[in-house]
Structure 1
Amino acid sequence: MMIKKQIVCIHWGKKYGPLYINRLYNMVERNITPPFRFVCFCDDDSGVRPEVECHPLPELNFEIPKTKRGIWPKSRLWNKQLADLEGPFLFLDLDLVITGNLDAFFEYGEADDVILAYNPSNPLERLGQTSVYRAPVGKLAPLLEMFSKDPLAIAEKYGYEQRFVTRNAPGGIKLWPKSWVKHFRRNCRRPFPLNYFLQPKLSQSSKIVIFPGTLGPQDAIDGVYHFRHGPHLTPKAHIKAGLKGERQGSLLTHLRHYILPTKWVEQHWK
C-alpha cells in the first residue's frame, strides 16, 4: 500500500512572504519520493508557485492571543477539517532547511500517532518542537476546543504552543529520532572558541535543520547571530568590538554568539 505523503505549511502576515513558501516547496521536491501533495494555508497566495495548493487560513471562533513569548497561529491547524486533506500530514515551518530525504517521516510510527521533533532547549523536560510534526487531520481538535475556552490563559500558562501540544495531545506524543531533526542554535553552532575557526556543523544523519528563535537561515548564511549585532565581522573585528563594549549582553555572550558564514545552509536553502 502506497503511503500518502501530505506536506502542510502555514503563512500569515508579512514576515516571510511567497519566497519562503516557494523555497520550502523546492526543498521538499528535491528530497522526497513522489507522489506528494504540498498544501499551504495562507492569507495571501500572491506570488506562490502553481505547484503549491493554497487554501484560506482555517477559521477560528476566537481571537488568537498575542503574548511576549509564544506564537499561536499554528493552532488553526488543529481544526477537525483542513481543506480536503485526510489522514496524517507532515507540517513544516517555513524557515527550516531540509538537508536529507523526507520519506522516513511518513513511515515512522503508526498512522494515528502525533509525532514532534525533540526540543533540546529544555533537556530536563520531555518537550516536543512543532517546527516539524506529523498528525492525522482532526486528531488535535480537542486541543483547539480547550484553547478556545480561554486562549490568553492557556497561552500564559504554557508559554509556547509546542508545550501545550506536548502536554495535551490525545494519546500523548512521540518524538522523531534526535538525529533526524537538528536545532541550528543548539546542535549546529560551534562552542567558543571553535566558532571563530569553524563554520556551524551539519550532521550526516540530519534530514531537517530547524531555526526557532531569532536566528534564521539567512542569518546563518550571512554569518550574523542576530540582526541587532550588525553585519558579519571578521573574528578579529568581532572580538575587538566586544572588548570595546560594542555588544549585546556580556563579553562572554558576545564571544559565544559569533558564527562564521554557513555554506551548507546556502547550498540547501534554495
Structure 2
Amino acid sequence: GGLGLTEPDAGTDLQAIRTVAARDGSDYVVTGTKTWISNAIMGHCCALLVKTDPEAQPRHKGMSMLIVSKIDPETKAPLPGVSNGKKLEKLGYKGIDSGEFIFDGYRCDAELSLVGGEEGKGFAMATGGLEIGRVNIAARSVGIAKRALRESVAYAQTRKTMGKPIAEHQAIQLKLGDMAARTRAAELLVEDAARAFDAGGRVDMEAGMAKYFASETAVDVATEAMRIHGGYGYSKEYVIERLYRDAPLMCIGEGTNEMQRIIIAKQLVARNKI
C-alpha cells in the first residue's frame, strides 16, 4: 500500500491539493492526480488525501482521507476509474517503486472508504502521520550514515598510500572523526524524537530536528565516504555509490529540510513564549 498525498501542484503545501471526492448517494466519486506515491505501481491499496469540501475555509477543514484500491478484492480485476500514470525512475532508493495515480470518476463506498467515519479530518491525519514518518526518515538516514562510516573505517585500514594505511594520514583521520561524531549525534536525535513520540506528546519539533540533522548527515557522510574510497567509491564494486545515491532523498521525503527548519523555529518560539 501507499500514502497518496503529493500532487503535481501540491507537495509541501498539502492544503493546495486538487483531488476531489464528491458525494453521490452512498458513494464518493474521486477525480484527480497523485504523483510521487511510494508503491503506486506494485501496490494495490492507498490512503488517499482528498478534498470533500473544496469551498471550506480554512482549507484544511475540507480535507478527508479515503482508503481506495486499484483492484476488486474478490475478483482481483482492475477497478474502473483508477489507473497508474508513469513509473518515476529515481536516482536511488530503488527498493520501492514511485509512481502516479490517476482518478477519473473512480467510485468507492463512502461508508467503507472514509477513514475515521467523519469528513474534514484528513489534514490532521496526514500531518500526524508525517511526524512518525519524519522519525522514520531520520532513522533510515542514520542507517545510511552508519553503513558509510563502517565501510570507510574498514577501507581506510586496508588501502595504503605512501607506505602506510590511509587511516594513518591526518587528512583521512579528520574526515573519519567528523563522520563519527555527526553520525552519533544524529542517532541520539532520532532516539530523542522516538522517545517523545512514544510518550504521546506533540513531537513536530523533535521529529523535525531529527529528520533535518540526520538526513543532512547522511548526505555529508556518504559523500565523504565516496572521497575516502576514491575511484572505488564512484564504482559499483563497493556499496558506497548506492549510499551516495540513496542519501539525498532523505532530505526531501516527508517534508523538505527547508520546511523542517521553519517548523523547528516556530515550535521553539511557541514553547518559549515570554
Please report the TM-score for the alignment, with normalisation by the length of structure 1. Answer: 0.26
- Computing the radius of gyration from Cα coordinates, the structure with the larger value is 2
- Which one has the bigger helix percentage? 2
